[in-house]
Structure formats: structure tokens, C-alpha cells
Amino acid sequence: MKELIDKIVTDGTVLEENVLKVDSFLTHQVDPTLMSLIGKEFASRYKDKGITKIVTIESSGIAPAVFIGLELGIPVIFARKQKSLTMNKELLTAEVYSFTKQVTSEISISTKFLTEGDHVLVVDDFLANGQAALGLIELCRQAGATIEAINIVIEKSFQNGRSLLEEKGYKVDSLARIESLKDNKVTFVEE
Ligand code: 5GP
């Protein structure tokens, strides 16, 4: 998606050879105009697929997920990383190793929001090694829901997330695919 790629080029910074900082428009401050375009783009790809729920993970998946949900007119569920006192009923849970925080946390969704018969788009801000997506897939599996696709805003194609997910039979759909962050420079996969 051209607008996203342009924004990464102008506002993104390379922290290490494998980490991109995009906190001015996606992971801390959010650019609603860009999120709205992202929502419209993904919604146009999935509008006739019978999707019933968007599933993401807090916190940076929420902004793009809400805009996709708005366009498709369906609810957005975000898996929580810490159980709230109000989440005392039945939960779907999975372990996720965080690429950026380097800790494992338990993520959960209340069983009442995701059920058998749901057709899901899994959404996240980044795809690196696929661990967050796998955790969300596990929650959907426990609910008996069907996953239509994994929608990613920024995919780092030099890491193994896509191949891991595709080997398991999931469709991965990304709006920007980064080939390399070497020498503090972002290069994109030619498509
Ligand atoms: P994975 O689980 O695929 O290894 O990593 C994806 C998760 O780690 C995303 O939810 C995202 O929050 C975080 N992440 C991975 N790579 C990056 C990165 O280069 N920059 C930022 N800001 N977050 C990342």
C-alpha cells in the first residue's frame, strides 16, 4: 500500500538490523487518516468473505483492527496480556513470546466473544517470527472459530513469520513487506 510505504520511508526509524520504530503513526501515536486507509484496504479484500469478527492483540494491533472492523461493520476483539479483575469468567488462553519485550505472556479472550461459527480475520501491526499470530490462532482454535486470513500492517519478510504461518496453511496478507533493515535503510520486497 503506497501511502503506508511512503509513511514508513519518511517517519520510520531503524533501531537495530531487525527492529523498525514506527511510534509516530502506529505503535504509540496513531495516524487516524492512515489507519482509515488501512481499514478500507483490508475491508475491500475481505468484504464478501463472510467475516464475523476481527481478532487482534493489545496494544498496537487495536488501531488498525478497529478501522477494519468499522469498514466491515463487525466487532473487534483484542486479546489481553494481563487478566483484568472483571475477566473472571471462562477464558481462552495461550502463551506468546514477545519479540520486542523478550518475555512470555499469557494472552486471553473471554469465551463469550469468540465462538464456533465465527469467521475471523487475525490482525496485527507487525509480523516478525509469527509468535503473536500463533497465539491468536490458538485462541481461535480453542473457540472452534475459522480463520480466513492473517492481516498484517508491516511484515518483516526477512524473519520467518510468514513461512511458519503458511506452512500451517494460513493465508498471510500484508500491506508493506520489508526485505531488509540493513545499514539503517528500509528496503521493500518488490511485488
Ligand atoms: P512476532 O510475534 O511475529 O515475532 O512479532 C510480532 C509482534 O512483535 C508484534 O505484535 C509487534 O508488536 C512486535 N514487533 C515485532 N517486530 C517489530 C518491529 O520491528 N517494530 C515494532 N515496533 N514492533 C515489532
Question: For residue 2, how far is its CA from the centre of ligand 1 (angstroms)?
Answer: 21
Instruction: For a ligand 1 pocket test, name from 99, 101, 165 the mutation site with the most ligand atoms within 8 angstroms of its C-beta.
Output: 99
- Could you tell me the CA-to-CA distances from 80 to 77, 176, 178 in Å, in that order? 9, 26, 28
Return phi, psi of residue 136, to 5°: -65, -35
Question: For residue 124, how far is its CA from the centre of ligand 1 (angstroms)?
Answer: 9
CB of 125 closer than 6 angstroms to any ligand 1 atom: yes
Residue-wise pLDDT for 2-32, tens only, equals 999 999 999 999 998 899 999 999 999 999 9
Give every CB contact of residue 17 below 8 A, 6+ residues apart in sequence. Answer: 181, 182
Residue 168 has pLDDT above 80, yes or no: yes
Domain that holds residue 28: 2-83+91-188
The answer to whether 130 is a known ligand-binding residue is yes
Count: domains in the chain: 1
- The model's pTM is 0.96
Residue (of 73, 26, 83) closest to 53 by Cα position: 73
| CATH code of the domain containing 30 | 3.40.50.2020
Higher pLDDT pick, 100 / 189: 189
Q: Strands of 146-156's sheet, edge to edge?
A: 76-79, 53-57, 119-127, 146-156, 172-180, 187-188
Question: For residue 135, how far is its CA from the centre of ligand 1 (angstroms)?
Answer: 13
* Closest atom of ligand 1 to CA, residue 18: 19
Residue-wise pLDDT for 51-65, tens only, equals 999 999 999 999 999
Q: How far apart are CA 56 and CA 170, in angstroms?
A: 16
